[in-house]
Structure formats: structure tokens, C-alpha cells
Amino acid sequence: MTHAVLPTVGFIGLGNMGSGMTRNLQRAGFPLVVNDLRRESAAELVAGGARWAATPAEAAAASDVVITMLPTPRHVDAVVNGPDGILAGIADGGTWVDMSTSVPEVADAVRRAHGARGLRILDAPVSGMSVGAANGMLQIFVGGEAEDVARLRPVFEAMGDPERILHVGGAGAGYAVKLMINQLWFSHLVATAEVLAIGVKAGVDLDVLRDSLIASPANSNFVEHDVLSILDRGDYDEGFAIALACKDLGLSIDLARSVGVPAELSAVVEQIYRRAKAQYGDLAGEMTPVQLYEDLIGRPLRREAVAA
Ligand code: NAD
């Protein structure tokens, strides 16, 4: 019944993030047309009524709004500009929303080369990890025209926390905000790992050290909440591969360079991330840099290990 009034959403990229996001769009009643390099990633969605599109062009042609959720700018470029890409299928005046963590170059080039087609293009990257994608509680940072953001709000609300769907500025602002969020979070992670490793090696009980940090002006969301995934469960978040984290850090430093702001700290954090990627592999979790410090002190940072 509601299907008749909801726009058809084309969705390309059914990985760790896209799989949860599409499930929530489907639950909210949006008709879906989906595409991925891995046909099998769509099986559950198709069983639930989604239509499979053989190419991004087909997904774009069959939908009112087409969303991309792809690993890197290179993948976004291929999916948009490739021979069977979005541009080959999208109607003039159609809407493309890139929710990947990326940079504005691909969208800017499309605007320049296809300005006469009247395409509506938004960047809307997300935070909240694959768990947030699965729960429909993502934070979404949207760059684009206000009227497009308002029109697409129901689509975003099916995937994200309504309180944390933020219109952050014009085209490209969403990408920039997202890169800065990740940069700061990765910096918190490395700084916290270093401090915990030094303190524990100096003989302080891990719980006492962390409780003291929480009680101090040095407290952070990472110390208070996010680090517990490692301390309690040894979970380094394989839902976000460290190769993609390194991609984000590289893009963030490129952004700093392009605006002429030195990024000394970010550069060190990037190198530590790249060391962890080299050591533990591309698919290791985004929090694996903590393991570098655990290896250095010869023991895992675990609350139960301390208690034992
Ligand atoms: P992923 O690698 O798990 O999924 C990417 C999907 O894109 C894969 O299913 C892949 O087959 C598909 N794909 C790649 N090239 C394609 C092409 N040419 N045509 C069709 N499909 C193609 O990645 P992810 O973890 O879902 O991340 C997606 C984006 O979201 C990235 O930009 C990432 O930085 C960002 N992000 C991820 C997380 C997280 O926790 N995983 C959190 C926030 C943001």
C-alpha cells in the first residue's frame, strides 16, 4: 500500500554497510533495485522483493534515486562513469547520492561534464559502523542543496538515526565532515592505545588506569566507550577493514594538503595504521593498531586478563 507513494531506490554496493542499509530500506517499504559485483550479496534482498540489476546503469534507469556505497573514489568513479555506469542509465534530472566515504572529485567532474542534464547529486557519508548500518541507526552527514536533502530525508531516515541526519553544507561538505570525523577517531584510537600500553607497562592496573582517565579532563568517547570492544571482547571490528581505514586517512591527508593546512599528527596516525595493515593484513579490523601496542608490551589489553 505504502509502496505506491515511496520512491524506488537503486542501491549499488551491498558490502558490510550496504547490506544493512538496504535491509532497512526494504523494511521501511522502499521498492529496491540493487547491484553489486557479487551477485550473491543480493540473495536475501531479492527474496524479500528487491529487483536485481545486472549493471549500475540498469539500477539507475529503474529507480527514482540511486545510492552508491562503495569502497573508494576509484570504485565510485567506475560505477558512475564506466561503460554500464550510472550516467548511462540515469534519467535527466535524476538523483544520485554517494554515501561512500570519498572525495568530491567524481561528483564535481560529473557536474562539469553533464551540467545540462540537471542531475541532483548529494554526498551523504555515514558513521556508526556496520552495527549502525544493520540497526538503522547510522549518523549521516549530507552535503547538497537543502531542497534535495529535505526530499530525501525519508530515505535517510530509513537508514539512520533521525536526530543525527545532519545537513552539513553544500556539495562536498558531507565528504569533508566524514573524513574529519574518522581522522579524529583514528587519532583517539592511537593515542589511547599508546597511553594504555605505557601505563600498564609501568605497572598500573588496566581498569584503574582507564577509570582514572575517565575521571580526568583526558576522558574521551573512545576511552569511555569504544575501546571496550577490545578490552572486553578482543573485538577489533572486522566489520570495517583496516585497508578502508587507511584509504580514509590517505584521503584526509590529501584534503589537508589541498587546503594548505599541515597535518603532522594525522600523518603519524596514518603511518601507524599502515604499519598495522602491513602487519595484520588488509582485512584486519579498523581497531587493529591497538594490537601493535599489545605486541610491544607482550600482552593483550584485556580487562579479564588484568583481573586474572
Ligand atoms: P565493503 O568492501 O564491505 O563493501 C563494498 C561493496 O561494494 C562490496 O560488496 C563490493 O562487491 C561492491 N563493489 C565494489 N566495486 C563495485 C562495482 N564496480 N560495482 C558494484 N559493486 C561494487 O565496504 P563497506 O565496509 O561496506 O564500506 C563501504 C563504504 O562505507 C566505504 O567508503 C567505507 O569507507 C564506508 N564506511 C564503512 C564503515 C564500516 O564500518 N564498514 C563505516 C562507515 C563508512
Residue pair 152/95 in contact (Cβ under 8 Å)? The answer is: yes
Task: Check pocket membership of 37 for ligand 1, CB cut-off 6 A.
Answer: yes
Query: How many angstroms is it from 255 CA to the middle of ligand 1?
Result: 21
Query: How many angstroms is it from 75 CA to the middle of ligand 1?
Result: 9
Q: Which residues are catalytic?
A: 178
Task: Report pLDDT for 5.
Answer: 79
User: Which grid coordinates belong to 122?
Assistant: 548529494
Q: Whose CA is nearest to atom 41 of ligand 1?
A: 240
Task: Report pLDDT for 4.
Answer: 53
> Domains of the chain by range and CATH?
9-170 (3.40.50.720), 177-307 (1.10.1040.10)
User: Which grid coordinates belong to 247?
Assistant: 584509504
How distant, in Å, are the alpha carbons of 120, 140, 248, 261, 276 from that of 116?
A: 11, 29, 32, 35, 46
Taking alpha carbons only, the member of 223, 168, 215 closest to residue 191 is: 223
Give the nearest ligand 1 atom to 237 CA: 40
Task: Check pocket membership of 80 for ligand 1, CB cut-off 6 A.
Answer: no
Q: Looking up cell 571490528, which residue turns up? A: 237
Instruction: Using alpha carbons only, give the angle 59, 107, 125 rounded to the nearest 5 degrees.
Output: 80
- Interatomic CA distance for residues 86 and 66, integer angstroms: 8
Q: Looking up cell 539512520, which residue turns up? A: 160
pLDDT less than 70: residues of the chain: 1-4, 305-308
- Interatomic CA distance for residues 138 and 200, integer angstroms: 34
Kindly report, residue by residue over 183-209, the tens digit of the pLDDT: 999 999 999 999 999 999 999 999 999
User: What is the β-pairing status of strands 138-143 and 160-169?
Assistant: parallel
Q: What residue type is 229 in one-letter code? A: S
User: Which grid coordinates belong to 124?
Assistant: 551523504
Q: Looking up cell 591527508, which residue turns up? A: 253
Task: Check pocket membership of 101 for ligand 1, CB cut-off 6 A.
Answer: yes
Query: How many angstroms is it from 28 CA to the middle of ligand 1?
Result: 22
Enter the pTM of the model: 0.94
Task: Check pocket membership of 78 for ligand 1, CB cut-off 6 A.
Answer: yes
Find the largest Cα–Cα distance for the chain: 68
- Site to probe by mutation for ligand 1, drawn from 40, 70, 183 as the one with most ligand atoms within 8 Å of Cβ, is 70
How distant, in Å, are the alpha carbons of 32, 67, 143 from that of 122?
A: 19, 10, 6
User: Which grid coordinates belong to 100?
Assistant: 561512500
User: What is the β-pairing status of strands 126-127 and 138-143?
Assistant: antiparallel
SS3 167: strand
Q: Whose CA is nearest to atom 21 of ligand 1?
A: 36
User: Which grid coordinates belong to 279?
Assistant: 602487519
Kindly report, residue by residue over 89-125, the tens digit of the pLDDT: 999 999 999 999 999 999 999 999 999 999 999 999 9
Task: Check pocket membership of 57 for ligand 1, CB cut-off 6 A.
Answer: no
- Site to probe by mutation for ligand 1, drawn from 137, 240, 251, 282 as the one with most ligand atoms within 8 Å of Cβ, is 240
Query: How many angstroms is it from 14 CA to the middle of ligand 1?
Result: 7
